[in-house]
């Protein structure tokens, strides 16, 4: 045992690491020099744990007292996902139907002008000249943008 203690006292000569005793208090005087005090006392650790437990319990009670607020960030994401393709098809059909209606209106106006009914300024219900043409151009530009 004396050889072991001598090598502990001289770490540069021996192959052993420095001995530190934190949880064990030896009876021999030679080993008592290697005892290191614990980093925190048991009582302090217990007090810290009790504070953490009490804080957790109070946080739990506070959360239980609040109403549960479960609101999705995007409440209609599933509708967009499920109906998106159908809506795109419906929009294309709607635009095509509107374009067809405008073409029919243009035909009627051309037939009316060809028959000599006048330019439509004397009747309050008729739109001014070129208004339907502007609508048709606007609709065609929308269709072109939608197809891209």
Q: Which residue has the higher pLDDT, 145 or 109?
A: 109
| CA 123 to chain centroid | 58
As beta bridge partners, residue 141 has none
What residue spans of 10-76 are helical by DSSP H? 29-32, 42-65
Asked if residues 121 and 128 have their Cβ atoms less than 8 Å apart, the reply is yes
At residue 57, the pLDDT reads 94
Phi, psi of 70 (to 5 degrees): -115, 90
Chain segment 78-111, per-residue pLDDT in tens: 777 888 888 888 999 999 998 898 888 888 888 8
Chain segment 15-67, per-residue pLDDT in tens: 667 777 777 788 888 888 888 776 666 677 788 889 999 999 999 998 888 77
Q: Which residue has the higher pLDDT, 129 or 17?
A: 17
The residue assigned the tokens 């609101």 is: 71
Q: Which residue has the higher pLDDT, 11 or 97?
A: 97
Q: For helices 77-114 and 131-147, what crossing angle results, to 10°?
A: 150
**Domain ranges, ordered by start, for the chain:** 2-65, 77-147
At residue 59, the pLDDT reads 92
Q: Count the residues in the chain.
A: 148
């Amino acid at each position: 045992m004396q050889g072991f203690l001598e090598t502990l006292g001289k770490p540069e000569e021996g192959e052993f690491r420095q001995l530190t005793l934190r949880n064990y208090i030896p009876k021999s005087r030679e080993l008592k020099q290697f005892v290191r005090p614990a980093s925190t006392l048991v009582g302090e650790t217990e007090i810290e744990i009790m504070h953490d437990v009490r804080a957790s319990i109070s946080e739990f009670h506070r959360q239980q007292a609040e109403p549960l607020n479960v609101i999705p960030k995007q409440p209609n994401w599933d509708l967009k996902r499920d109906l998106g393709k159908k809506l795109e098809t419906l929009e294309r059909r709607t635009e095509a139907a509107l374009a067809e209606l405008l073409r029919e209106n243009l035909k009627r106006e051309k037939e009316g002008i060809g028959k000599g009914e006048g330019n439509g300024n004397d009747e309050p219900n008729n739109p001014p000249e070129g208004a339907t043409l502007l609508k048709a151009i606007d609709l065609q530009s929308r269709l072109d943008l939608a197809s891209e």
